[in-house]
Amino acid sequence: MSAELLLVQALNGLQFGVLLFLVAAGLTLVFGVMDFINLAHGVQYMLGAYFGATLAAATGSFWLGLLLALPAALAAGLALELLVFRHLYGRDHLAQVLATFGVILFLNEGVKLAWGAAPLQMPVPPLLEGGVALMPGLQYPVYRLAILAAGLATALLLWVLVDRTRAGMLVRAGATHPDIVAALGVDIRRLFLLVFAFGAMLAGFAGAMAAPVLSVEPGMGDAPLILAFVVIVIGGIGSIRGAFVASLLVGLMDTLGRAALPDLLRLFLAPSPARQAGAAIASMLVYILMAAVLAVRPAGLFPARAG
Amino acid sequence: MRERAVPLLLFAALAAAPFLGFGEGYALTLLARAMILGMAAVGLALLVGGAGLVSLGHAATLGVGAYAVVALDANGIVEGALVLPVAIGAAALFALATGAVSLRTSGVHFIMITLAFGQMAFFTASSLAAYGGDDGYTLYARTELGGTRLLEDRLVFHYACLGLLALVFLFCRAALAARFGRVLRAARENPLRVRAVGFDPYPYRLLACVIAGAIGGLSGVLLANATEFVAPSYLSWQRSGELLFMVILGGLGSLHGAILGALAYVLLEEWLSHLTEHWRMVFGPLLVLSVLFFRGGLAGLLAPRRR
Q: Do B101 and A110 touch (CB under 8 A)?
A: no
B109, B117, B287: residue with CB nearest A99? B287
Question: Is B122 a member of any domain?
Answer: yes
Quote the crossing angle between the two packed helices A188-210 and A166-176, to the nearest 10°: 100
Q: What is the Cα–Cα distance from B105 to B109, expressed in whole angstroms?
A: 6
Q: Do A113 and B108 touch (CB under 8 A)?
A: no
Q: Do A98 and B244 touch (CB under 8 A)?
A: yes
Q: What is the Cα–Cα distance from B16 to A238, expressed in whole angstroms?
A: 53
Q: Do A97 and B127 touch (CB under 8 A)?
A: no
Residue B307: predicted pLDDT: 42
Query: Is pLDDT at B2 greater than 90 in this prediction?
Result: no
Q: Do B245 and A98 touch (CB under 8 A)?
A: yes
Asked whether A212 and A153 are in contact (CB, 8 A), the reply is no
Is A294 in CB contact (< 8 Å) with chain B? yes
Asked whether B148 and B21 are in contact (CB, 8 A), the reply is no
Using an 8 Å CB-CB cutoff, list chain B residues near A84.
Answer: 288, 292
pLDDT in tens, B130-166: 888 888 888 887 888 877 787 778 888 899 999 999 9
Residue B251: predicted pLDDT: 81
Is B42 in CB contact (< 8 Å) with chain A? no
Residue A70: predicted pLDDT: 92
Using an 8 Å CB-CB cutoff, list chain B residues near A280.
Answer: 123-124, 126-127
Query: Is pLDDT at B1 greater than 70 in this prediction?
Result: no
Question: Is B107 a member of any domain?
Answer: yes
Q: Which domain holds residue A123?
A: 10-296
Using an 8 Å CB-CB cutoff, list chain B residues near A290.
Answer: 112-113, 116
Query: Is pLDDT at B305 greater than 70 in this prediction?
Result: no
Residue B23: predicted pLDDT: 67
Residue B191: predicted pLDDT: 87
* CB contacts < 8 A (A, B): 121
Q: pLDDT under 70 in chain A at which residues?
A: 1, 304-307
Nearest CA-CA distance, residue B54 and chain A, Å: 7
Surface of B (204-233) touching A: CB under 8 A: none
Is B145 in CB contact (< 8 Å) with chain A? no
Using an 8 Å CB-CB cutoff, list chain B residues near A113.
Answer: 278, 281
Contacts with B123 (C-beta within 8 Å, 6 or more apart), sequence order: A280, A283, A284, A287
Q: Give the C-alpha distances (Å, rounded to integers) separating B166 from A87, A147, B12, B36, B176.
A: 37, 56, 11, 11, 15
Using an 8 Å CB-CB cutoff, list chain A residues near B111.
Answer: 37, 93, 97
**Tell me, what DSSP letter sits at residue A89?**
T
Q: Do B113 and A233 touch (CB under 8 A)?
A: yes
Question: Is A114 a member of any domain?
Answer: yes
Question: Is A305 a member of any domain?
Answer: no
The single-letter code of the amino acid at A275 is: R
Question: Is A97 a member of any domain?
Answer: yes
Least confident of B54-68, B88-102, B120-134: B120-134
By CA distance, what is A97's nearest residue in B?
A: B241
Is A97 in CB contact (< 8 Å) with chain B? yes
Q: Which domain holds residue B86?
A: 2-302
Q: What is the Cα–Cα distance from B184 to B244, expressed in whole angstroms?
A: 19
Residue A307: predicted pLDDT: 38
By CA distance, what is B281's nearest residue in A?
A: A106
Specify the DSSP element, H or E, that contains B230: strand B229-230
Q: What angle do CA B233, B238, B240 make, to 5 degrees?
A: 95
Task: Give the side-chain half-sphere CA count within 13 A for B98.
Answer: 33
- Residue A270 burial class via C-beta count within 10 angstroms: exposed 0-12, middle 13-18, buried 19 and up: exposed
Question: Is B84 a member of any domain?
Answer: yes
Q: Is the ipTM of this complex over 0.90?
A: no
Question: Is B96 a member of any domain?
Answer: yes
Query: Is pLDDT at B46 greater than 50 in this prediction?
Result: yes
Using an 8 Å CB-CB cutoff, list chain B residues near A99.
Answer: 287-288, 291-292
Is A87 in CB contact (< 8 Å) with chain B? yes
Question: Is B307 a member of any domain?
Answer: no
Question: Is A1 a member of any domain?
Answer: no
Nearest CA-CA distance, residue B78 and chain A, Å: 26
**Tell me, what DSSP letter sits at residue B75?**
T
Task: Give the side-chain half-sphere CA count within 13 A for B269.
Answer: 14
Strand intervals (E) in chain A:
131-135, 138-141
Query: Is pLDDT at B222 greater than 90 in this prediction?
Result: yes
CATH of the domain at A35: 1.10.3470
pLDDT in tens, B282-304: 888 888 888 888 777 777 777 65
Asked whether B77 and B203 are in contact (CB, 8 A), the reply is no
Specify the DSSP element, H or E, that contains B138: strand B137-138
Using an 8 Å CB-CB cutoff, list chain A residues near B273.
Answer: none
Nearest CA-CA distance, residue A55 and chain B, Å: 24
Is B244 in CB contact (< 8 Å) with chain A? yes
Question: Is A5 a member of any domain?
Answer: no
Buried b (16+ CB within 10 A) or exposed e, A12-33: bbbbbbbbbbbbbbbbbbbbbb
By CA distance, what is A275's nearest residue in B?
A: B127
Number of domains in chain B: 1
At B43, is the pLDDT very low, low, confident or very high (cuts 50, 70, 90)?
A: very high
Number of domains in chain A: 1
Least confident of A266-270, A287-291, B92-96, B119-123: A266-270
The candidate with the shortest Cα–Cα distance to B162, out of B62, B63, B18, is: B18
Question: Is A304 a member of any domain?
Answer: no
Using an 8 Å CB-CB cutoff, list chain B residues near A227.
Answer: none
Residue B280: predicted pLDDT: 84
Is A270 in CB contact (< 8 Å) with chain B? no
Q: What is the DSSP string of A204-236?
A: HHHHHHHTTTS-B-TTTTHHHHHHHHHHHHHH-
Q: What is the Cα–Cα distance from A128 to A142, expressed in whole angstroms?
A: 6
pLDDT in tens, A183-195: 888 887 788 888 8
By CA distance, what is A279's nearest residue in B?
A: B127
Residue A87: predicted pLDDT: 86
More confident residue, B69 or A174: B69
- Residue B185 burial class via C-beta count within 10 angstroms: exposed 0-12, middle 13-18, buried 19 and up: middle
A87, A95, A279: residue with CB nearest B127? A279
- Cβ-based neighbour number of residue B186 at 10 Å: 16
Question: Backbone phi, then psi, for B293, in 5-degree steps?
Answer: -115, -5
State CA B216 to chain mean position distance. 5
Residue A305: predicted pLDDT: 58
Q: What angle do CA B160, B240, B55 make, to 5 degrees?
A: 105
Question: Is A176 a member of any domain?
Answer: yes
Residue B130: predicted pLDDT: 82
Q: Do A283 and B123 touch (CB under 8 A)?
A: yes
